[in-house]
């Protein structure tokens, strides 16, 4: 049994609830302990994971959130920089499943978040568990 921290950017609560349900369900079904930490936005997720990883309390992480394209360049910054931050932490050996959705509109986000459809929360949890297993294999 491992301890996982789900770090969610609570900007779109109704979409995050679906992502969390999928991720938490997958982690608990695999016998793992799960906690959820909420941060303001996707840009804060890598920093929160880095801080939590330093505590040594968690074995793996799941990053969840939704970034929907708007009318400004802000979408590209948030989508790209949050992914870059998560990738940098992953390259440093922190097992993270990235479930931050980056979509053109809310309909795409709903499809991807919904456990009965795209179920990306489960996919992110499975990725985190796979990276943790790989880390344990090579330890």
Binding residues for (2S)-2-hydroxy-3-oxobutyl phosphate: 71-72, 112
Q: Are 94 and 61 in contact (CB under 8 A)?
A: yes
Nearest 5°: phi and psi at 62? -125, 125
CA distance 131 to 109: 25
CA distance 34 to 2: 9
CA distance 90 to 62: 11
Would you call 74 a catalytic residue per the annotation?
yes
Q: Which residues are annotated as a binding site?
A: 11, 42-44, 66-68, 71-72, 98, 112
Q: Which residues are annotated as a binding site for 5-amino-6-(D-ribitylamino)uracil?
A: 11, 42-44, 66-68, 98
Query: CB-based contacts of 16: which residues, under 8 Å, 6+ apart?
Result: 8, 9, 10, 64, 65, 66, 113
**Pick the catalytic residue: 14, 57, 74, 84?**
74
Residues known to be catalytic: 74
């Amino acid at each position: 049994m491992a301890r996982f921290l789900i770090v969610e950017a609570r900007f779109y609560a109704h979409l995050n609830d679906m992502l969390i349900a999928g991720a938490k369900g997958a982690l608990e079904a695999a016998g793992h302990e799960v906690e959820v930490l909420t941060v303001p936005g996707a840009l804060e997720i890598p920093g929160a994971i880095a801080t939590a990883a330093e505590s040594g309390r968690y074995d793996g992480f799941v990053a969840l959130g939704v970034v929907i394209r708007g009318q400004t360049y802000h979408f590209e910054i948030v989508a790209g920089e949050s992914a870059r931050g998560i990738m940098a932490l992953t390259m440093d050996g922190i097992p993270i499943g990235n479930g931050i959705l980056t979509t053109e509109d809310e309909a795409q986000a709903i499809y991807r978040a919904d456990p009965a459809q795209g179920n990306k929360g489960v996919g992110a949890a499975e990725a985190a568990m796979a990276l943790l297993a790989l880390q344990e294999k090579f330890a």
